[in-house]
Amino acid sequence: MMTMTRMPTLAIHDFLIDLFFRRPADSDVGVGWGTDGLFIFIWWVGVFFFVLLMALMGWWAWKYRRIPGKAAEPSPSHNTALEITWTVIPTLILVVIIFWGYNGYLRAQMPEGNAEQIDLTAYKWGWGMTYDTGLGADETVPLGSSEVPVFYMLLKMSSQDVIHSFWVPDFRTKLDVIPNRFTPYSFRTLPLEDSDNRVQTRTVQIADSVRENVRYRDHWIFCAEYCGDLHSEMGAIMRVVSKEDFEWWKSVPRYGASTNPVEVGEKVYIASGCATCHSVDGSAGTGPTWYQVYNRPVPFADGSELSQAEIDADPLAWDNYIRESILYPAAKIHAGYANQMPSYDGRLSDVELRGLIAYIRSLSGLDVETENIPGFEQLDEAAESPQASIDAQTNGES
């Protein structure tokens, strides 16, 4: 039906689209006769009626201004034909708008054909994606996408905590992300065209692999449902690339043959959203900083602490504390901070967990050997059961 055909092109329409949206829509739902077209139509209807009414108001306010001693001329106080006309005509226009809007809405809600499904998780305060290969996010902005004229994308979205809303303004659609429920957000992006001056080219390096001339276009993602302190900071970038580039990007092994845990940890720090709340240079944030904290005492919100004595007695005490806090953050809350860290249980592999711990250790200026790291193998056996520590915590708190 009304897919990617353009509206009758008038210079004024291009101007209006620039004025309102900065650029035409980049999804098939928004472009052409879709959302942008409907918006322009409503704009013209509004302008017509507004100018007409205000002109009449202004003209009559001047023409019939009060002249002392002169009475108002008699005039009818109702006119059935006129009243019916100005009821019926707007009604008809509104019916057109209703159906036009309904049509666009259905197309936005219904994924077509072979849409690639990506799992999206929203949490306070960031986004996480998991692709069908099990791959998580990457790069300094945690999202990537694929696009091609016959390729579709479906996001299966869920929230870890409160209601968020996934909005890509350039795609002209959003959908709320609700806890305990999956909501589907689907879109079909437009091709990357050479004439589009937002398309850029770069060289991508992931571990040992390099790919050149990757063309891409960036779009903002914003959270559009109030979710607390850092609602404003819960943005991200949707990067649109070609299908070949996307398949390459998905398939490249992330951590290469020679795995450096600190590098792994640094990548995970950025990709999994830790950077939103934890700084690595000592500056304050929503969560405790990671700088110079390894193997130091930790005060907890309930008054207890991980003391220096405990750390000295058990070389893995601090590592186990960090591992537990990543997977079950509510178990021990650092004093002075609120219990609002999302859980990463099920979202990080052991390689990534170990990497994070190594990275934190490296931020304290301590050496981290790249191979045969003592104690790493023993981590799983020695770790105390997280559930037991949660029970201890809950019963202690009452």
Partner 1 sequence: MTTVDRGLDHLQGGHDEHHDVPYLTAKGGPIATVWDWMTTVDHKKIGVMYLFSVLFMFFLGGVAALMLRIELFEPTRQTAAGLTGAAFAGGEGSSVGAVGKFYNTVMTMHGAIMVFMFIVPGIPASLGNFFLPLQLGAKDVAFPRMNLASWYIYVFGSFFGVYVILTGVVDTCWTVSSPYSTSTTGQPQFIAMILAVFVLGFSSIFTGLNFIVTVHKLRAPGMGWFDMPLFIWALYATSIIQVLATPVIGVTFLLLLFERLFQIGIFDPGLGGDPVLFQHFFWFYSHPVVYVMILPAMGIISEVLAVHSRKRLFGYRAIAFSSLAIAAVSFLVWGHHMFTSQGELAATIFSALTFLVAIPTAVKVFNWIATLYKGSIALTTPMLYAMQFLFLFSIGGLTGLPLGALSTDLHLHDSYFVVAHFHYVMFGGTVIAFLAGIHHWWPKMFGRMYNEFWAKIASLIVFVGFNLTFFTQFFLGTQGMPRRYASYVDDFQLLHQISTVGSFILAAGFFVHLFVFIHSLVVGERAGQNPWGGLTLEWETDPVPLEHNFRHEPVVRHGPYDFESVVPPGCDEKEFPLPPKDEVRTIH
**Restricting to residues 209-228, which ones interact with partner 1 according to CB under 8 A?**
220, 222-228
Question: Of the candidates 8, 9, 11, 65, which one interacts with partner 1 according to CB under 8 A?
Answer: 65
Interface residue with partner 1 among 67, 81, 150, 313 (CB under 8 A) is 67
Tracing tokens 């058990």 back to the chain, one arrives at 314
Residues 251-290 that bind partner 1 (CB under 8 A): 284-288
Question: C-beta of 84: minimal distance to partner 1 in Å?
Answer: 10
- Is the sign of the CA dihedral 23, 29, 33, 37 positive or negative? negative
Q: How far apart are CB 346 and partner 1 at their closest, in Å?
A: 17
Q: Among 14, 90, 297, 388, indicate the residue that binds partner 1 (CB under 8 A).
A: 90
* Residue-wise DSSP of 92-131: HHHHHHHHHHHHHHHHHHS--TTEEEEEEEEETTEEEEE-
Say which residue the tokens 């893995």 belong to.
Answer: 316
**Among candidates 309, 335, 308, 331, which has minimal Cα distance to 321?**
331
Q: Let me know: does 262 contact 376? Beta carbons within 8 Å.
A: no
Candidate ranges 26-34, 266-274, 315-323, 373-381; the one touching partner 1 (CB under 8 A): 26-34
**Token representation of residue 75:** 């005039």
Q: Is 72 in the site for partner 1 (CB under 8 A)?
A: yes
For partner 1, which is the closer residue by CB, 289 or 364? 289
Stretch that binds partner 1, among 85-93, 132-140, 142-150, 383-391 (CB under 8 A): 85-93
Q: How far is the CB of 108 from partner 1 (least distance, A)?
A: 6
Among 4, 10, 12, 98, binds partner 1 (CB under 8 A): 98
Which of 95-103, 248-256, 311-319, 367-375 is the region at the interface with partner 1 (rule: CB under 8 A)? 95-103
Task: Assess contact for 387 and 327: CB atoms under 8 A.
Answer: no
Question: Where is 54: in which H helix or E strand?
Answer: helix 35-63
374 binds partner 1 (CB under 8 A): no
For residue 363, give the amino acid letter.
L
Which of 6/23 has CB closer to partner 1? 23
Least separation in angstroms between residue 266's CB and partner 1 is 21
Q: Which residue has the tokens 């690595």?
A: 280
Spatial CA neighbour of 122 closest among 163, 152, 87: 163
| From 15-23, 308-316, 344-352, 384-392, span contacting partner 1 (CB under 8 A) | 15-23
Q: Are 344 and 277 in contact (CB under 8 A)?
A: no
Distance CA 140, CA 185 (A): 24
64 near partner 1, judged by CB under 8 A: yes
Q: Residue 327 contacts by C-beta under 8 Å, 6 or more apart in sequence?
A: 343, 344, 345, 386
Where in 109-128 is the site for partner 1 (CB under 8 A)? 109
- Find the binding residues for partner 1 in span 300-339 (CB under 8 A): 335-338
Binding mask 160-179 for partner 1 (x = CB under 8 A): -xxx-x-x-xx-xxxxx-xx
For residue 182, the 8-state DSSP code is -
Smallest gap from Cβ 92 to partner 1, in A, equals: 11
Nearer to partner 1, 174 or 323 (CB): 174
- Residues whose CB is less than 8 angstroms from the CB of residue 278 and which lie 6 or more positions away in sequence, other chains included: 269, 285, 287, 288, 289, 290
Token digits for 370?
Answer: 């790249």
Task: Please name which of 355, 174, 162 lies closest in space to residue 256, comparing C-alpha atoms.
Answer: 355
Contact (Cβ atoms closer than 8 angstroms) between residue 239 and residue 129: no
Residues 128-147 that bind partner 1 (CB under 8 A): none
Nearer to partner 1, 260 or 304 (CB): 304
15 binds partner 1 (CB under 8 A): no
Does 44 engage in binding with partner 1 (CB under 8 A)? no
Nearer to partner 1, 284 or 313 (CB): 284
Asked whether position 343 contacts partner 1 by CB under 8 A, the answer is: no
